[in-house]
Amino acid sequence: MSASMPEADWMDGDDEASPAPARSSSRYKGVVPQPNGRWGAQIYERHARVWLGTFADEAAAARAYDVAALRFRGSGGAVNFPGAGGVPSAAEMAFLAARPKSEVVDMLRKHTYDDELRQALRSGSGAGERGDLSLSLVPRVALFEKAVTPSDVGRLNRLVVPKLHAEKHFPPLAGDEDDATAPPVLLAFEDVGDGGKVWRFRYSYWSSSQSYVLTRGWSRFVREKGIVAGDTVAFSQAAAVTDDGEVVGGKRRMFIECRKRKRDDDDDDRGDDDCCPDGGARVVRLFGANIAAATIGD
DNA sequence: AGCTGTGTTGAA
DNA sequence: TCAACACAGCTG
């Protein structure tokens, strides 16, 4: 179901005008009648029942089951409301995939799922968005960030990547152990603050300074984003969320995001060429502090 | 006092 | 896996 779908549309069954006492059973999958005339929703996983809450409307309970089925079994699972409202959008699937089952179940039990989904969809659908899949909904793991130095934004046209982070999160560069200059590698990053615009940088090791650097492409990034010394560039990587909400790296997609250095109160400077189109501090939902991000280099 | 959500069982 | 049924507990 999509967030834009009015709930009332499918909330009317046959027994709308009458308070209708509990029927002996529901026509919807995962829905069970409650003694008081309300409806309960449940889904089974591994022999165990997962209670999804009770609902006044039979169809609302059925929809709760659908949501759970989407999260527990993927878009392939049988659902009560296929078609129209039941068609899971890529964005909704991402929304679901980005949170642990327990959280989804909580939202269903508290009847807050639709609100949360709408809110996430709204905040994620900025003007610069390209696909219909909001980047803010893509689960990501933070890799590292660096406050850029004057030389990082100066004429050197390069960003020094702290050795520890480079070696831990970026693909290994042959030759970084000996004094030979490693062959350059091209890395692509999706811009979290700009609807996924892709930035490509040459990544290499400068043996002369014994530094890992992002070179070609970096200066353009600095210029277009208006990055100045003191600002921060953050790197993250696509991740997957397990049943328990544990985040695991795995996908190769990497992301970059720039954050303006916090200014006390003086000027807010130009508000559009900024690196964060939305205006204020963009809140990106990142997961878990301690995740074993998969090695990018495979 | 009401309701929710679990215990449990038999069918699919 | 799934739902029917009973009712233990919980909530207010």
pLDDT in tens, A9-42: 333 333 333 334 456 788 899 999 999 999 999 9
Instruction: State, as a whole number of angstroms, the distance between the CA of A18 and the C1' of B4.
Output: 23
Structure tokens at A66: 């659908």
pLDDT of residue A206: 92
A138, A252 Cβ separation under 8 angstroms? no
Over pLDDT 90: what percentage of chain A? 45
Query: Rounded to the nearest 10 degrees, what angle do helices A58-73 and A90-97 cross at?
Result: 70
Task: Enter the pTM of the model.
Answer: 0.60
> Domain A31-124 carries which CATH code?
3.30.730.10
Strand C: list positions under 7 Å from protein Cβ. Answer: 1-7
Estimate in Å the CA A74 to C1' B6 gap, whole number: 26
| Predicted local confidence at residue A285, as pLDDT | 42
* C1' (C10) to CA (A202) span, angstroms: 61
pLDDT at A4 over 50: no
How would you label A47-57 residue by residue, b for 16+ Cβ within 10 Å and e otherwise? eeebebbbbeb
Q: Hey, do A31-124 and A140-259 end up sharing a CATH topology, with the first three levels equal?
A: no
Q: What's the Rg (C-alpha) of chain A?
A: 24
Query: CA of A285 and C1' of C3: distance in angstroms?
Result: 38
Enumerate the H helices of chain A as residue ranges.
8-11, 58-73, 90-97, 101-109, 113-124, 163-169, 218-225
- Using a 7 A cutoff on CB, list residues near strand C: A 24-26, 29-33, 35, 42-47, 49, 78
How high is the pLDDT of residue A271? 41
Say what the pLDDT of residue A75 is. 84
Residue A52 confidence (pLDDT) above 90: yes
Separation of alpha carbons A18 and A33, rounded Å? 16
Q: Which residue has the higher pLDDT, A212 or A82?
A: A212
β-sheet bridge partners, residue A202 = A186
**Higher per-residue confidence, A126 vs A59:** A59
Domain assignments of chain A as residue spans, ordered by start: 31-124, 140-259
- Quote the mean pLDDT of chain A: 76
* DSSP helix, strand, coil percent of chain A (3-state; round to 5): 25, 25, 50
- Give the integer Cα–Cα distance in Å for A202 and A170: 12
How does pLDDT run across A162-206, given as a tens digit for each residue? 999 999 999 988 754 554 555 678 999 988 887 778 899 999 999
Residues in chain A: 298
Query: Which CATH fold would you assign to the domain A140-259?
Result: At1g16640 B3 domain (2.40.330)
Q: What pLDDT is stored for residue A185 in this prediction?
A: 86
Integer Cα distance of A19 and A145 in angstroms? 57
Q: When comparing pLDDT for A196 and A258, which is higher?
A: A258
Q: What is the pLDDT of residues A131-167, one digit of tens each?
A: 445 566 667 788 999 999 999 999 999 999 999 999 9
Structure tokens belonging to residue A118:
């709408």
Cα–Cα separations (whole angstroms), residue A267 to A30, A79, A263, A270: 56, 53, 8, 9
Strand B nucleotides within 7 Å of a protein CB: 2-6, 8
Q: What is the mean pLDDT of residues A217-226?
A: 94
User: What was the pLDDT predicted at A251?
Assistant: 60
